[in-house]
């Protein structure tokens, strides 16, 4: 987008008092303007690429296909937060969280609020007659996330929708994501949504996309991690960071 | 003038022994008799001080116009104590509380000490009478009062007191009395006659404080023991209420004045009781154990309503009673240097709302259990640590599996199971899962001589491959070739499976054989739910759909299941 058009858009946003959604353009990894507070993810290379970590007061998302390392990355974020003494919350929509893995990853379980969804609901693209079950489970999970966001006091609030059917996610009103963004704004907290495809994040948030590497997968759970910031800024995607999850 | 009611302990032997004797078997204080003693004293005067379960003092100024002389007052007190079922109670009336307490402890019956004759009455009393002023563990107020007195009066240097404590010597309170006994002091009169300067030079200010007691001097004014009013409120409704919305207004009307009383008394609600009398004459009762003392009426009302949403009354309500169990208010000093934690009120409200939305048992903190059962965990109540300092101390990085293996090796245990199969990452992954169940349990039992948990600095580490575990494993159809799975298929939509590109295993695991096994007629579902033992061969497979799965064959039934996805 030409610079003049961009300047016009930013001026319009400021006039409408929507300039909080503006994100400074990153140049060579160094942000311009106000430095956004971040929280580390626990991965050094990813934190470097993100300029310190995931931004506070924003909704970010971790997306990728199955076995790409999404859960491992989320556990790393939770472990980093709990090691800092923060309380974290995980809304486990389909009750697939494994405490053993989390403890091995370094999560302090006593500082974690685990909200378990319905494990009997179909966790994968469902048959027609089971659509209402997944919708109901997702709706409850969204309500639980909203309650936790409004309560405040948590360092990381994670919503696990990785196994949600895409058609059920498409039925979630857009206002739901906007409400999450409004609630988390201004808090010293990170909102993280785990999914199989990009669905929603704050304009100031980060989309972390994982792409499993072929061939060498058996040695380690390897993925290329790409991050994306403001969609209006071209070329925001940087070179991928390799995520290697091991024991 | 002051009066003292003293309830002596039952002596070991009867006849001839003084009522107060160090050799008498201490039967322990009876809280019920202590409260009755207090009630008896309150019949005569509002200014009552309960020093312990057996000693109560009261101010009797002005009672002469009601009862007559001080001897009559003492007789009336003794008669009231007998009528209250307390048996023989010693009563003493004197110009100072200390004199009244010493005389009541030393003499049975009613003793009246005329003004100016305190020294004569106390002179012949044995020195051990002063032990009545030692703090009673059953009376925290008295213990606190004694602690303040000791801090104010004692000038002993810290080093000497620490060395004395390290040698296991008696506490400073009884130490002074033992020193005096060794000096040959036998009576309060001899103790009171000692020169104050020389006494302070040898024993210190604590000795002077004891000497003042021996002379019958009061160390402070009488502090009345306040009567605790029950925190209870009841309202009878004009017409029965069946829904929660009108009940909300009723609860607000009851909780607002109760919370104001709590605030005036610097108390918080520890337990909240709600009794709803129904039109069917039954009572629907609920009790909420609060995680922290609270006195916010809105929060308490919200908690009650959320609880009633999950546990509704079966009929209309015509009487509402709210009772609060009070507890002293907390003083929490927040730190400016650490991150603020959610307030207990916020957390309790959040948990109540989440419980109403998702279910009471679906919200909490996960905890590992000491078992080898795959996927075993427990749900514990979610709690916020009270002190930010506590969270700062526990901010160390949790131990890595290698550290836990080292710690376990020091203990002589071998956490690694035999794991045949290809020595790949998955072997390491399995080792991590073997050690992980003991991660929390062994955190406090690290190898002696080293503390890897506390000394390990926080350092960046690569992420650990985590599982997404199905609570009920998914049945699968597996084609075996050369004792290895080659095709895995399921009927679950979205998990159709495919050809196996690579696999590792099997890892044989079994346990809890003492529980009923599937061979004895229990269905496989009980085994999957963890109600029986398990006996399985586990594999890690990479399928054509790009996923990495953990599957297992139940060796009892020969069935295959998909247990988890590695993500």
How far apart (Å, rounded) are the C-alpha atoms in residues A97 and A76?
A: 14
How far apart (Å, rounded) are the C-alpha atoms in residues A98 and B132?
A: 60
Reported as a single tens digit per residue, the pLDDT across B226-247 is 766 789 999 999 989 988 899 9
- Stretches in chain A below the pLDDT threshold 50: 24-33, 122-129, 215-219, 230-239, 247
Pick from B464, B495, B544, B562 the residue to mutate for testing the A interface (most A CBs within 10 Å).
B464
Pick from A75, A76, A80, A85 the residue to mutate for testing the B interface (most B CBs within 10 Å).
A85
Name the percent of chain A in helix, strand, coil, to the closest 5.
Answer: 35, 25, 40
At a CB cut-off of 8 Å and minimum separation 6, what does B240 contact?
Answer: B279, B315, B316, B317, B318
For range B531-547, the mean pLDDT: 88
How far apart (Å, rounded) are the C-alpha atoms in residues B308 and B291?
A: 18
- Closest residue in A to B379 (Cα) is A114
- pLDDT at B142 exceeding the cut of 70: no
Nearest residue to A91 (alpha-carbon basis) of A150, A138, A38, A151:
A138
Pick from A53, A98, A153 the residue to mutate for testing the B interface (most B CBs within 10 Å).
A98
- What backbone torsions phi and psi does residue A104 show, to the nearest 5 degrees? -65, -35
**Residues B466, A75: C-beta atoms closer than 8 Å:** yes
Residue B557, classified by CB atoms within 10 Å of its CB into exposed (0-12), middle (13-18) or buried (19+), is middle
- Element of type H or E holding A195: strand A190-195
Q: What is the dihedral of CA B383, B387, B393, B395, to 10 degrees?
A: 50
At a CB cut-off of 8 Å and minimum separation 6, what does B338 contact?
Answer: A85, B388, B389, B391, B392
On chain B, the residues whose CB falls within 8 A of the CB of A220 are 425, 465
Nearest residue to B376 (alpha-carbon basis) of B445, B440, B426:
B440
**Residues B342, A87: C-beta atoms closer than 8 Å:** yes
Q: Where are the beta strands (DSSP E) in B20-164?
A: 48-50, 55-59, 90-94, 110-112
Reported as a single tens digit per residue, the pLDDT across B277-318 is 999 999 999 998 887 888 899 999 999 998 998 888 888 999
For range B374-388, the mean pLDDT: 83
- Closest residue in B to A147 (Cα) is B350
Q: How far is CA A111 from the centre of its chain?
A: 20
List B residues 477-516 in contact with A (Cβ-Cβ < 8 A).
Answer: 492-495, 502
Q: What is the dihedral of CA A181, A187, A188, A193, to 10 degrees?
A: -20
Reported as a single tens digit per residue, the pLDDT across B423-441 is 333 433 444 333 333 333 3
- Element of type H or E holding A182: helix A174-184
* Identical fold between B1-226 and B231-328: no
Reported as a single tens digit per residue, the pLDDT across B63-122 is 888 888 889 999 998 999 888 888 888 999 999 999 999 999 998 899 999 888 888 889
For range B516-543, the mean pLDDT: 70
Contact between B32 and B129 (Cβ < 8 Å): no
Per-residue pLDDT, B305: 92
Q: State the smallest CA–CA distance between residue B548 and chain A in angstroms.
A: 6
Contact between B38 and B228 (Cβ < 8 Å): no
Per-residue pLDDT, B401: 45
On chain B, the residues whose CB falls within 8 A of the CB of A211 are none
- pLDDT at B395 exceeding the cut of 50: no
Q: State the smallest CA–CA distance between residue B428 and chain A in angstroms.
A: 6
**Residues B347, A151: C-beta atoms closer than 8 Å:** yes
State whether residue B368 sits within 8 Å of chain A by CB. Answer: yes
List B residues 309-348 in contact with A (Cβ-Cβ < 8 A).
Answer: 338-343, 346-347
Nearest residue to A193 (alpha-carbon basis) of A219, A223, A157, A238:
A157
Peptide bond into B506 cis (omega under 30): yes
Reported as a single tens digit per residue, the pLDDT across B451-496 is 333 333 344 456 678 999 999 899 999 999 999 999 999 988 788 8
How far apart (Å, rounded) are the C-alpha atoms in residues A168 and B494?
A: 14
- Structure token pair of residue B279: 């039109």
What b/e sequence results for B48-77 when a residue is b if at least 16 CB atoms lie within 10 Å of its CB, and e otherwise?
bbbbbbbbbbbbbeebeeebeebeebbbbb
How far apart (Å, rounded) are the C-alpha atoms in residues B553 and A168?
A: 33
Is B155 or A105 the better-scoring residue by pLDDT? A105
**Residues A119, B472: C-beta atoms closer than 8 Å:** yes
Q: State the smallest CA–CA distance between residue A154 and chain B in angstroms.
A: 7
**Residues A100, B375: C-beta atoms closer than 8 Å:** yes
Per-residue pLDDT, B441: 36
Domain A37-245 in CATH 3.40.50.1220: no
**Residues A100, B358: C-beta atoms closer than 8 Å:** no
State whether residue B423 sits within 8 Å of chain A by CB. Answer: no
Q: What is the dihedral of CA B167, B172, B174, B178, to 10 degrees?
A: 70
- Structure token pair of residue B42: 């309150």
How far apart (Å, rounded) are the C-alpha atoms in residues A39 and A56?
A: 7
State whether residue B443 sits within 8 Å of chain A by CB. Answer: no
Per-residue pLDDT, B223: 83
On chain A, the residues whose CB falls within 8 A of the CB of B468 are 71, 96-98, 162-163
At a CB cut-off of 8 Å and minimum separation 6, what does B256 contact?
Answer: B297
On chain B, the residues whose CB falls within 8 A of the CB of A155 are 339
DSSP A11-60: HHHHHTT-GGG--PPEETTEE-SSPPPEE--S-HHHHHHHTSSEETTEEE
- Closest residue in B to A187 (Cα) is B340
Residue boundaries of the structural domains of chain A: 37-245
Tell me how far CA of residue B226 lies from CA of B50, B138, B218, B271, in angstroms. Answer: 10, 17, 21, 22
How far apart (Å, rounded) are the C-alpha atoms in residues A64 and B175?
A: 73
On chain B, the residues whose CB falls within 8 A of the CB of A100 are 368, 375, 377, 433, 436-437, 467
Per-residue pLDDT, B354: 93
Per-residue pLDDT, B431: 41
Of A66, A147, A218, the CB nearest to B546: A66
- What backbone torsions phi and psi does residue A105 show, to the nearest 5 degrees? -75, -15
Q: State the smallest CA–CA distance between residue B498 and chain A in angstroms.
A: 14
State whether residue B460 sits within 8 Å of chain A by CB. Answer: yes
Nearest residue to B98 (alpha-carbon basis) of B209, B195, B180:
B209
Number of C-beta neighbours around residue B402 at 10 A: 13
Per-residue pLDDT, A245: 55
State whether residue B432 sits within 8 Å of chain A by CB. Answer: yes
How far apart (Å, rounded) are the C-alpha atoms in residues A208 and A69?
A: 11
On chain B, the residues whose CB falls within 8 A of the CB of A126 are 493-494
Instruction: Classify domain B1-226 by CATH architecture.
Output: 2-Layer Sandwich (3.30)
Pick from B356, B364, B366 the residue to mutate for testing the A interface (most A CBs within 10 Å).
B366
Q: State the smallest CA–CA distance between residue A212 and chain B in angstroms.
A: 9
Contact between A224 and A213 (Cβ < 8 Å): yes
**Residues A104, B439: C-beta atoms closer than 8 Å:** yes
How far apart (Å, rounded) are the C-alpha atoms in residues B5 and B544?
A: 88
Plot region of A85 (φ>0 → left; ψ -120 to 50 → alpha; else → beta): left
- What backbone torsions phi and psi does residue B91 show, to the nearest 5 degrees? -125, 135
Tell me how far CA of residue B137 lies from CA of B28, B127, B171, in angstroms. Answer: 10, 22, 14
Q: State the smallest CA–CA distance between residue A140 and chain B in angstroms.
A: 7
- pLDDT at B171 exceeding the cut of 80: no
How far apart (Å, rounded) are the C-alpha atoms in residues B533 and A147?
A: 39
**Residues B339, A188: C-beta atoms closer than 8 Å:** yes
Superfamily of domain B231-328, CATH level 4 = DNA polymerase, Y-family, little finger domain (3.30.1490.100)
- Structure token pair of residue B432: 């991590």
Per-residue pLDDT, A27: 38
Per-residue pLDDT, B104: 92
Nearest residue to A137 (alpha-carbon basis) of A177, A173, A92:
A92
On chain B, the residues whose CB falls within 8 A of the CB of A114 are 363-366, 379
**Residues A83, B492: C-beta atoms closer than 8 Å:** no
Per-residue pLDDT, B32: 63
Reported as a single tens digit per residue, the pLDDT across B325-372 is 988 776 666 667 766 677 777 888 899 999 999 988 999 999 999 988
The packing angle between helices B158-166 and B172-183, to 10°, is: 80
Per-residue pLDDT, B254: 93
Residue boundaries of the structural domains of chain B: 1-226, 231-328, 397-446, 467-566
- Structure token pair of residue B428: 């390491």
How far apart (Å, rounded) are the C-alpha atoms in residues B143 and B131?
A: 14
Q: Is the dihedral of CA B115, B119, B123, B129 positive or negative?
A: positive
CB pairs under 8 A between A and B: 234
How far apart (Å, rounded) are the C-alpha atoms in residues B47 and B224?
A: 5
**Residues A221, B366: C-beta atoms closer than 8 Å:** no
pTM: 0.61
């Amino acid at each position: 987008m030409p610079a003049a058009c961009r300047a016009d858009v930013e001026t319009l946003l400021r006039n409408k008092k929507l300039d909080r959604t503006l994100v400074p353009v990153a140049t060579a990894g160094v942000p311009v303007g106000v430095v956004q507070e971040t929280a580390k993810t626990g991965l050094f290379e990813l934190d470097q690429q993100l300029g310190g970590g995931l931004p506070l007061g924003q909704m970010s998302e971790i997306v990728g296909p199955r076995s790409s390392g999404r859960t491992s990355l989320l556990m790393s974020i939770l472990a980093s937060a709990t090691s800092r003494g923060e309380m974290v919350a995980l809304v486990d929509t389909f009750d697939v969280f494994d405490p053993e893995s989390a403890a091995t990853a370094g999560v302090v379980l006593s500082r974690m609020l685990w909200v378990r969804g319905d494990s009997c609901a179909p966790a994968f693209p469902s048959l027609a007659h089971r659509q209402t079950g997944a919708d109901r489970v997702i709706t409850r999970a969204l309500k639980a996330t909203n309650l936790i966001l409004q309560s405040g006091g948590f360092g990381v609030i994670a919503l696990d929708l990785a196994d949600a059917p895409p058609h059920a996610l498409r039925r979630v009103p857009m206002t739901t994501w906007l409400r999450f963004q409004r609630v988390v704004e201004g808090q010293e907290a990170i909102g993280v949504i785990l999914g199989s495809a990009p669905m929603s994040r704050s304009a100031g948030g980060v989309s972390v996309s994982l792409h499993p590497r072929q061939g060498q997968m058996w040695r380690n759970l390897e993925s290329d991690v790409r991050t994306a910031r403001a969609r209006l800024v071209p070329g925001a995607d940087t070179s991928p960071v390799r995520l290697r999850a091991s024991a | 003038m002051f009066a003292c009611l003293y309830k002596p302990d039952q002596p070991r032997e009867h006849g001839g022994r003084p009522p107060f004797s160090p050799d008498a078997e201490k039967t322990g204080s009876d809280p019920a008799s202590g409260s009755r003693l207090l009630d008896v004293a309150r019949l005569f005067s509002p200014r009552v001080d309960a020093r312990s379960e057996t000693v109560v003092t009261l101010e009797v100024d002005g009672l002469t116009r009601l009862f007559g002389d001080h001897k009559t007052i003492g007789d009336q007190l003794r008669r009231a104590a007998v009528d209250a079922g307390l048996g023989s109670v010693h009563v003493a009336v004197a110009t100072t509380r200390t004199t009244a307490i010493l005389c009541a402890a030393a003499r049975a019956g009613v003793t009246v000490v005329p003004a100016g004759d305190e020294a004569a009455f106390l002179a012949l009393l044995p020195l051990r009478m002063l032990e009545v002023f030692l703090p009673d563990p059953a009376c925290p107020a008295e213990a606190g009062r004694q602690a303040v007195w000791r801090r104010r009066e004692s000038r002993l240097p810290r080093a000497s007191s620490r060395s004395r404590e390290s040698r296991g010597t008696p506490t400073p309170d009884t130490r002074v009395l033992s020193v005096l006994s060794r000096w040959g002091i036998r009576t309060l009169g001899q103790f009171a006659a000692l020169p104050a300067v020389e006494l302070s030079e040898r024993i210190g200010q604590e000795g002077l404080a004891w000497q003042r007691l021996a002379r019958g001097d009061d160390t402070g004014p009488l502090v009345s023991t306040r009567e605790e009013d029950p925190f209870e409120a009841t309202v009878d409704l004009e017409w029965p209420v069946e829904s929660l919305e009108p009940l909300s207004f009723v609860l607000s009307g009851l909780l607002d004045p109760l919370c104001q009383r709590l605030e005036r008394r610097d108390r918080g609600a520890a337990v909240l009781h709600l009794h709803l009398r129904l039109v069917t004459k039954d009572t629907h009762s609920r009790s909420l154990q609060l995680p922290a003392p609270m006195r916010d009426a809105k929060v308490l009302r919200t908690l009650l309503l959320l609880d009633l949403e999950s546990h509704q009354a079966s009929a209309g309500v015509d009487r509402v009673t709210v009772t609060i169990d009070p507890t002293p208010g907390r003083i929490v000093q927040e730190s400016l240097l650490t991150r603020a934690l959610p307030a207990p009120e916020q957390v309790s409200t959040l948990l109540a709302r989440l419980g109403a939305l998702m279910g009471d048992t679906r919200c909490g903190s996960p905890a590992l259990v000491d078992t080898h059962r795959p996927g075993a965990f427990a749900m514990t109540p979610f709690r916020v640590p009270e002190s930010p300092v506590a969270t700062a101390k526990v901010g160390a990085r949790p131990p890595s599996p290698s550290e836990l293996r080292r710690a376990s090796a020091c203990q002589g245990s071998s956490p690694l199971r035999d794991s045949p199969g290809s020595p790949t990452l998955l072997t390491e992954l399995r080792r991590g899962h073997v050690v992980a169940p003991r991660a929390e349990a062994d955190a406090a039992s690290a190898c002696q001589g080293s503390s890897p948990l506390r000394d390990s600095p926080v350092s960046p580490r690569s992420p650990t491959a985590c599982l997404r575990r199905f609570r009920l494993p998914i049945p699968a159809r597996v084609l075996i070739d050369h004792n290895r799975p080659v095709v895995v298929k399921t009927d679950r939509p979205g998990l159709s499976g495919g050809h196996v590109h690579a696999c590792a295993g099997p890892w044989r695991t079994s346990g809890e054989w003492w529980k009923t096994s599937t061979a004895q007629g229990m269905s496989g579902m009980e085994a999957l739910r963890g109600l029986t033992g398990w006996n399985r061969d586990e594999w890690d497979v990479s399928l054509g759909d790009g996923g990495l799965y953990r599957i297992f064959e139940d060796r009892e039934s020969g069935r295959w299941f998909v247990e988890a996805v590695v993500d």
